[in-house]
Amino acid sequence: MVDPIKVYPPKPTHVYFYATCLIDMFYPDAGMAGIQLLEREGIKVCFPEDQTCCGQPAYTSGYHDEARVVAKAQLDLFPENWPIVVPSGSCGGMIRKHYPDLFKHTGQEAKASEIAARTWELTDFLLNVCHIKLRDLGQPTTLAMHTSCSARREMGIAEVGPKLLGQLSNVNLVEQVRAEECCGFGGTFAVRHPEISGAMVSEKVDTLTDTGASEFVTTDCGCLMNIAGYAEKNRKPLAGQHILSFLWERTDSGNGGKS
């Protein structure tokens, strides 16, 4: 059976941009970079201003009724039959994989399933729907990458980031050992189990720095916040960036590929 996540639509003229809470509050540059990459591909981006949380923190903590209330507010934001792009495997996975079950037997299942079916993680959309071609304007650099658990296991896009970075002629992408292991963030997991989370992110920072890279990118802001925050607090030589910001800075002629 063909995975529906891998059945890509034709390149559209319009998309909805669902930004996520962490981009809205902490990493707006990544959101703007995603929009700029889409617009450079000739796509008009619609940003529904009433968007809020997808409901994932409550859902993964077992509070499904509370998650449903939050998620229900998103269902009427996307009336046109345009793709919904999400710069996060975690939030993308919540909408794509869990909305149909979350709204089962509520009278909203059909709408939730329809929205789920046209939701795409943004790097996957750029690579496999837009067929983006990147021209590297930056200086030579060595880079590591961390793909979030949700991006890897729910959205099935572990290969997407490396393929995009592989288009950049001056980027040497190095592989960490046990790349598939979690960084320890896991939404509310890091709050509810801080000791376990701390041990996991410590090991993840070690595996990234052991590559010899002083910089990493990731598709998810939760992982970015966790890994880069731990590295900074513990004075580890590792800086982090969302992959969208990195791609835009390397390929935007206006800033000379400053990354």
- Whether residues 80 and 148 share a domain: the answer is no
Please indicate, yes or no, if residue 206 is contained in any of the structural domains. yes
CB atoms within 10 A of CB 254: 9
What's the token pair of residue 226?
């966790």
Using only C-alpha atoms, what is the Rg of the chain?
18
- Whether residues 162 and 215 share a domain: the answer is yes
Between CA 70 and CA 68 the distance in angstroms is: 5
Angle at alpha carbon of residue 169, lines to 163 and 170, rounded to 5° = 115
Which residue, 128, 158, 190, sits at the end of a domain?
128
Cβ contact 119:152 at 8 Å: no
Which residue, 87, 107, 128, sits at the end of a domain?
128
Between CA 259 and CA 238 the distance in angstroms is: 15
- Whether residues 247 and 148 share a domain: the answer is yes
Going from the C-alpha of 30 to that of each of 52, 200, 223, the distances in angstroms are: 17, 25, 14
Positive/negative CA dihedral, 30, 31, 36, 37: positive
- Whether residues 86 and 167 share a domain: the answer is no
> At 71, which CATH number?
3.40.50
- Whether residues 121 and 193 share a domain: the answer is no
Between CA 161 and CA 146 the distance in angstroms is: 9
pLDDT of residue 106: 96
pLDDT of residue 186: 85
- Whether residues 116 and 186 share a domain: the answer is no
pLDDT of residue 5: 79
Tally of domains within the chain: 2
Please indicate, yes or no, if residue 247 is contained in any of the structural domains. yes
Please indicate, yes or no, if residue 120 is contained in any of the structural domains. yes
259 residues of the chain, pLDDT tens digit each: 567 778 999 999 999 999 999 999 999 999 999 999 999 999 999 999 999 999 999 999 999 999 999 999 999 999 999 999 999 999 999 999 999 999 999 999 999 999 999 999 999 999 999 999 999 999 999 999 999 999 999 999 999 999 999 999 999 999 999 999 999 998 788 888 889 999 999 999 999 999 999 999 999 999 999 999 999 999 999 999 999 999 999 999 876 566 5
Please indicate, yes or no, if residue 77 is contained in any of the structural domains. yes
Please indicate, yes or no, if residue 135 is contained in any of the structural domains. no
- Whether residues 106 and 33 share a domain: the answer is yes
Please indicate, yes or no, if residue 6 is contained in any of the structural domains. no
- Whether residues 166 and 103 share a domain: the answer is no
- Whether residues 68 and 166 share a domain: the answer is no
Positive/negative CA dihedral, 47, 49, 55, 56: positive
- Whether residues 145 and 102 share a domain: the answer is no
Q: Which residue has the tokens 């731990």?
A: 230
Cβ contact 170:138 at 8 Å: yes
Going from the C-alpha of 155 to that of each of 89, 116, 149, 189, 199, the distances in angstroms are: 6, 12, 9, 20, 26
Cβ contact 33:248 at 8 Å: yes
Full residue range of the structural domain in which residue 23 is found? 13-128
- The greatest distance separating any two alpha carbons of the chain, rounded to the nearest whole angstrom, comes to 54
- Whether residues 106 and 154 share a domain: the answer is no
Please indicate, yes or no, if residue 259 is contained in any of the structural domains. no
pLDDT of residue 258: 62
pLDDT of residue 211: 97
pTM of this structure: 0.95
Please indicate, yes or no, if residue 236 is contained in any of the structural domains. yes
- Whether residues 121 and 171 share a domain: the answer is no
